């Protein structure tokens, strides 16, 4: 059986006492490991790389040129031979520091996998996002898949939203490839659901 066939909704009898399907923890690879692998061992939101045993031991992990996050980070200046600490205020993107020759490390950005709907038994691809710890907490506290969102989504989130809309509005459970081919069509399904008078109430920006 292909590992991709594990991306589905599981019945109670296929789940452990923790509520997660057995395939979530077990398998070669397990579903959570496969999600991280498919994401290139990189947070899909801030692009911080993290692979256990390679990018760090836990609290601090190395950044690269693609990192789009800011503090808390620390820069090691090779010319000074010491760490330069940066605060939350006016901190450049981590990737900028790497491009300028600094060794940059981010604090607590271990790569996790987040269930966007909160349903542990739902392992469909669009419900599973590889997110670092910090992005995970931010998205978990702000995103409600069932909440109508009348604005354009961030690029990283568009495939997940479109996959969810395909199931919710059309009853079509599409692969990621099929979803990306129909991305504009599927994202447009959400907009008619919101009444004009509701748009102002929903205008508070969410980075999703």
Closest Cα partner for 73 from 32, 118, 53, 103? 103
pLDDT mean over 163-177: 96
Indicate the number of domains in the chain.
Answer: 3
Contact 116, 96 (CB under 8 A): no
Indicate the SS3 state at residue 88.
Answer: coil
Percentage of the residues of the chain whose pLDDT score is greater than 70: 88
**Residue 50 confidence (pLDDT):** 95
> Are both 97 and 13 inside the same structural domain?
no
Does residue 204 lie within any of the structural domains? no
Q: Is the pLDDT of residue 99 over 50?
A: yes
Contact 116, 134 (CB under 8 A): no
Q: How far apart are CA 97 and CA 85, in angstroms?
A: 12
**Residue 193 confidence (pLDDT):** 57
Report phi then psi at 176, rounded to 5: -65, -40
pLDDT mean over 30-40: 96
Q: Is the pLDDT of residue 190 over 50?
A: yes
Contact 20, 122 (CB under 8 A): no
Report phi then psi at 60, rounded to 5: -115, 135
In tens, the pLDDT along 21-32 reads 999 999 888 999
Indicate the SS3 state at residue 1.
Answer: coil
- pLDDT winner (highest mean) among 73-87, 142-156, 171-185: 171-185
Does residue 183 lie within any of the structural domains? yes
> Are both 154 and 169 inside the same structural domain?
yes
Contact 137, 129 (CB under 8 A): no
Does residue 164 lie within any of the structural domains? yes
State pTM to two decimals. 0.86
Contact 23, 6 (CB under 8 A): yes
> Are both 38 and 66 inside the same structural domain?
no
Q: Is the pLDDT of residue 1 over 90?
A: no
Phi-psi region of 171 (alpha: psi -120 to 50; beta: other; left: phi over 0): left
| Domain span holding position 97 | 60-107
Pick the more confident residue, 35 or 97. Answer: 35
Contact 73, 134 (CB under 8 A): no
Q: Is the pLDDT of residue 205 over 50?
A: no
> Are both 139 and 172 inside the same structural domain?
no
> Are both 119 and 47 inside the same structural domain?
yes
> Are both 118 and 138 inside the same structural domain?
yes
Does residue 72 lie within any of the structural domains? yes
Contact 138, 44 (CB under 8 A): no
pLDDT class of 192 with cuts at 50, 70, 90: low
């Amino acid at each position: 059986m292909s590992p991709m066939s594990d991306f589905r909704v599981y019945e109670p009898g296929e789940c452990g006492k923790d509520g997660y399907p057995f395939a979530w923890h077990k398998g070669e690879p397990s579903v959570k490991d496969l999600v991280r692998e498919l994401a290139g061992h990189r947070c899909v939101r801030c692009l911080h790389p993290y692979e256990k045993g390679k990018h760090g031991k836990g609290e601090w992990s190395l950044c690269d040129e693609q990192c789009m996050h800011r503090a808390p980070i620390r820069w090691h200046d090779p010319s000074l031979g010491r760490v330069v600490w940066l605060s939350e205020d006016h901190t450049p993107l981590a990737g900028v520091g790497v491009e300028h020759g600094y060794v940059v490390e981010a604090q607590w950005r271990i790569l996790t996998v987040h269930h966007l709907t909160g349903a542990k038994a739902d392992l469909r691809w669009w419900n599973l996002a590889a997110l670092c710890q910090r992005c995970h907490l931010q998205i978990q506290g702000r995103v409600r898949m069932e909440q109508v969102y009348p604005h354009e989504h961030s690029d990283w989130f568009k495939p997940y939203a479109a996959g969810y809309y395909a199931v919710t509005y059309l009853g079509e459970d599409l692969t990621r490839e099929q979803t990306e081919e129909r991305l504009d069509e599927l994202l447009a399904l959400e907009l008619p659901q919101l009444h004009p008078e509701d748009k102002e109430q929903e205008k508070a920006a969410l980075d999703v």
